[in-house]
Amino acid sequence: MEATSSLGKRFRISSTFLALLSLLGCGGLLALSTNLAKYAAQGGIDTVAFLTWSIAGAAILLVIKSVLSGKTIPLGIPAIRYFFVSGFFSIAAANLIFFKAIPHIGVSVVSLLLAMPPLLTYVAALTFKMEKFNIGRAAGVGLALVGALVLVVGKWQEGNTAQVWIIITLLGPVLLAAGNIYRSLDWPKGAAPEDLAPGMLLASAILLFCSAQIIPGLTLKVELTSHTFGLIIIQSMIFAGQSTLLFVLQKVGGPVFLSLIGAVSAAFAVPIATALLGETFMPSLIPSALFILSGIVFLLYCGQKKSS
């Protein structure tokens, strides 16, 4: 991969600074996305339908942007394979789990569980020799895992039906970690980040449309009002921006740095959910967040720069 994206070259931004900006932007948009999903669910909009139509809208927005800017979306077999595999792990399957879980366990829990991928990504990166073992990084991902476990135990002790959704939601970080590694290993040769985002979103929308046809209980039906349409448009814009920044960060920051999106998102999402959506502030949120924050510090400042 090249050291910087065309965005970084255009504005003469260093790779490190571009990675940091992309991380903050992507994490912030993810926080908005999860909160908007709960807000839509509280308004009676089916979460799967909301997710699917929003991703489809995001794909349309990025395709239009590509056409207007003269960009071309790669259409070879390797690129199409990349779109569907990365779309399945990083968007369709992971978001399907998270969006379905949000009404049951809340934005705060889902957001902090999104901080778990660093551990899984780091182990996978070591396995594929994309990273060299470093005690600082190992300590960082360990602290992030402890933070996630503190949160899970706190939520589990509430002893309600949300326990099933906690178990299901734990599959989400596994999918995200797999997507982080896959996108680095199979990045289409010569492709720029902004060329890949439209294809991945299109593939994700197709996968979700197909899933709704074959999986019982999933629906794409929404009552189309100006309010519903407006929410879908806003979520589409969030997904479009998030997906574009995801590829920029993937290219300049690497898979482990990319995994910090979840932790950054939690820093934004939890206060929003508590203040605006009326979620109860769990006592375990504070120690969990402190462990996760410590993990980020270790990963950023005590670790070794990724070798991919």
Helices 93-113, 135-156: axis angle to 10 degrees equals 90
Q: Are the C-beta atoms of 293 and 264 separated by less than 8 Å?
A: no
Q: Which two tokens stand for residue 235?
A: 């979520």
Whole-Å CA distances, 282 to 79, 119, 158, 164: 44, 24, 10, 18
Q: What is the pLDDT along the chain (308 residues), one digit of tens a residue?
A: 444 455 555 545 567 778 888 888 998 999 999 999 999 999 999 999 999 999 999 999 999 988 888 887 888 888 999 999 999 998 999 999 999 999 888 888 888 788 777 667 777 777 777 777 788 878 877 887 788 778 777 777 766 657 788 888 889 988 988 887 888 788 888 777 778 888 999 999 999 999 988 888 888 888 889 999 999 999 999 999 998 888 788 777 766 667 678 778 887 888 888 888 888 777 777 888 788 778 777 766 765 444 33
Q: What is the pLDDT of residue 140?
A: 79
Any residues with CB less than 8 A from the CB of 291 and at least 6 apart, and which? 143, 144, 146, 147, 150
